[in-house]
């Protein structure tokens, strides 16, 4: 009854069975028999952080290539077969992983396991498939980055904030690199990263643990593995002073984008930073909304920092985006945002506002855990990024342990000028935009 009336008080406990196969594959099984459905997921420990200049964007391109056919199936037939059984199929790429999943009736679990194993071994990598999909990805980049109001300023922000770590380039890659990728690049990428030792498989839902183990052993067990790929050891040095730039483009509004280096997912301090971000920008009770949006000083004030399991594996960026309201000076808005942060650094936050965001974060987390698919994603990505799938059961406590002093300390340590990178979006006319040259 208590969790029905106060879902934020519910402390979920997810049952996770973990198995390791001789070829290095890790399997996580999360039994849940409430409904006759199951989610089968394959998460590869490869994302844009594993790329290098010259092949940026190849992780995301490869996500597309995995749907271009195999020995058994033609282009896009993978999705059609799963959908014909009442299921859904999709994939996503981040800085740290590339993931594929099928959500379908439990009776068809073996089909999903068999097809995922088949395309891992027999993916059809041809020049025609590669050339076609490369243009699809370039078009996606144009839509999501070039034609997006804040897409290119955000790319510039990361490129300036990181000088050595691969997080400096976008997941979509640079267009120049995409244009010059070759089929041989893809074949080499596939040999290095697409093998059993570099993936975590998940079966979440109406399944018996032994059944899941037997199915994965049957189809993935015989696949040989060259072993775990070389680790990425890049480390971004501490920033030593503010970095600032102006980005000119045709735009209806002025905006500033600011990035601050913050800890990665393995660092327990990330939970204080996440709650700090929520106090600043999450919901209409946040400081950002109450001080800037509600009085009409800003059209919007957003604070972005992905929560677990999507938080960065290595130290990431907390990003603040301020859009000035028409007639309001952008420089004034920016200075007042820094004043608000300085107030937290000097005076801290109240217990009431910290409790508000704790309840909110817990409620959001519990809502996610109610979904079969997201339970699997949580366990798998936490395992890939921290080596501990069981962290899924401790995250609510880690939020609860954060004190007002922790929030103040995090604001002082991370949201300071020397750790700040700022990009100002300056609107220009069509003529000036054309004179500045093409964008990509």
pLDDT tens for 29-55 read: 999 999 999 999 999 999 999 999 999
pLDDT of residue 308: 95
Number of Cβ atoms within 10 Å of the Cβ of 396:
20
Q: What is the mean pLDDT of residues 297-307?
A: 96
**pLDDT category, 185, cuts 50, 70, 90?**
very high
pLDDT of residue 264: 97
Q: What is the mean pLDDT of residues 170-191?
A: 96
Is it the case that residue 4 has pLDDT exceeding 80? no
Is it the case that residue 3 has pLDDT exceeding 60? no
Q: What is the mean pLDDT of residues 404-408?
A: 98
Nearest Cα to Cα of residue 51 among 158, 142, 185, 156: 185
Q: What is the mean pLDDT of residues 368-397?
A: 95
**pLDDT category, 10, cuts 50, 70, 90?**
low
- The whole-angstrom separation of Cα 393 and Cα 373 is 16
pLDDT of residue 162: 98
pLDDT of residue 253: 85
Q: What is the mean pLDDT of residues 200-225?
A: 97
- The whole-angstrom separation of Cα 234 and Cα 227 is 21
Q: What is the mean pLDDT of residues 293-300?
A: 96
pLDDT of residue 83: 97
- The whole-angstrom separation of Cα 410 and Cα 403 is 11
- The whole-angstrom separation of Cα 319 and Cα 200 is 30
pLDDT of residue 366: 87
Q: Does residue 58 contact residue 93 with C-beta atoms inside 8 Å?
A: no
Q: Which phi-psi region, left, alpha or beta, contains residue 317 (left: φ > 0; alpha: ψ -120 to 50)?
A: beta
- The model's pTM is 0.94
pLDDT of residue 11: 62
Edge to edge, the sheet with strand 26-31 lists 17-20, 26-31, 199-205, 37-44, 98-105, 88-93
Mean residue pLDDT of the chain comes to: 95
Chain centre to alpha carbon of residue 117? 25
Q: What is the mean pLDDT of residues 312-319?
A: 97
pLDDT of residue 252: 86
pLDDT of residue 440: 82
Q: What is the mean pLDDT of residues 161-185?
A: 97
pLDDT of residue 6: 58
- The whole-angstrom separation of Cα 189 and Cα 56 is 12
Is it the case that residue 400 has pLDDT exceeding 70? yes
Alpha helices in 236-329 (DSSP H): 270-281, 287-288
pLDDT of residue 13: 84
Q: What is the mean pLDDT of residues 147-159?
A: 96
pLDDT of residue 368: 87
pLDDT of residue 99: 98
Is it the case that residue 163 has pLDDT exceeding 70? yes
CA distances to 162, 294, 422 from 325, in Å: 30, 11, 19
Q: What is the mean pLDDT of residues 297-306?
A: 96
């Amino acid at each position: 009854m208590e969790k029905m009336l106060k879902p934020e008080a519910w402390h979920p406990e997810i049952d996770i069975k973990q198995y390791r196969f001789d070829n290095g594959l890790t399997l996580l099984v999360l039994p849940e028999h409430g409904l006759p459905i199951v989610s089968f997921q394959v998460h590869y420990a490869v994302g844009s952080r594993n790329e290098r200049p010259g092949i940026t964007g190849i992780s995301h391109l490869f996500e597309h290539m995995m749907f271009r056919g195999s020995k058994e199936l033609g282009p896009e037939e993978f999705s059609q077969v799963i959908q014909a059984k009442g299921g859904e199929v999709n994939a996503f790429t981040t800085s740290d992983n590339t993931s594929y999943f099928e959500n379908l009736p439990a009776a068809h679990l073996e089909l999903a396991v068999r097809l995922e194993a088949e395309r891992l071994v027999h993916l059809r990598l041809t020049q025609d498939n590669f050339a076609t999909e490369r243009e699809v990805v370039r078009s996606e980049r144009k839509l999501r980055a070039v034609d997006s109001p804040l897409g290119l300023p955000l790319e510039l922000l990361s490129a300036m904030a990181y000088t050595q770590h691969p997080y400096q380039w976008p997941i979509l890659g640079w267009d120049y690199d995409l244009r010059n990728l070759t089929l041989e690049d893809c074949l080499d990428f596939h040999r290095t990263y697409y093998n059993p030792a570099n993936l975590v498989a998940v079966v979440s839902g109406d399944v018996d643990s032994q059944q899941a183990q037997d199915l994965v052993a049957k189809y993935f067990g015989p696949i040989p593995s060259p072993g775990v790929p070389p680790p990425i050891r890049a480390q971004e040095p501490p920033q030593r002073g503010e970095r600032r730039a102006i980005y000119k483009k045709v735009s209806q509004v002025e905006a500033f984008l600011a990035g601050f280096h913050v800890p990665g997912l393995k660092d327990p301090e990330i939970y204080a930073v996440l709650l700090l971000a929520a106090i600043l920008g999450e919901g209409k009770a946040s400081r950002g909304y109450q001080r800037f949006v509600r009085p009409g000083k800003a059209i919007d004030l957003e604070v972005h920092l992905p929560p677990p399991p999507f938080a960065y594996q290595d130290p990431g960026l907390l990003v603040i985006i301020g859009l000035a309201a028409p007639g309001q000076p952008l420089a004034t808005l920016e200075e007042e945002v820094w004043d608000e942060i300085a107030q937290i650094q000097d005076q801290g936050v109240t217990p009431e506002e910290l409790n508000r965001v704790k309840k909110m974060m817990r409620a959001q987390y519990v809502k996610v855990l109610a979904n079969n698919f997201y339970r699997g994603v949580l366990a798998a990505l936490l395992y890939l990024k921290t080596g501990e799938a069981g962290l899924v059961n401790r995250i609510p406590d880690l939020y609860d342990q954060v004190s007002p002093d922790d929030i103040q300390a995090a604001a002082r340590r991370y949201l300071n000028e020397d750790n700040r990178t700022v990009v100002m979006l300056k609107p220009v006319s069509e003529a000036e935009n054309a004179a500045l040259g093409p964008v990509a």
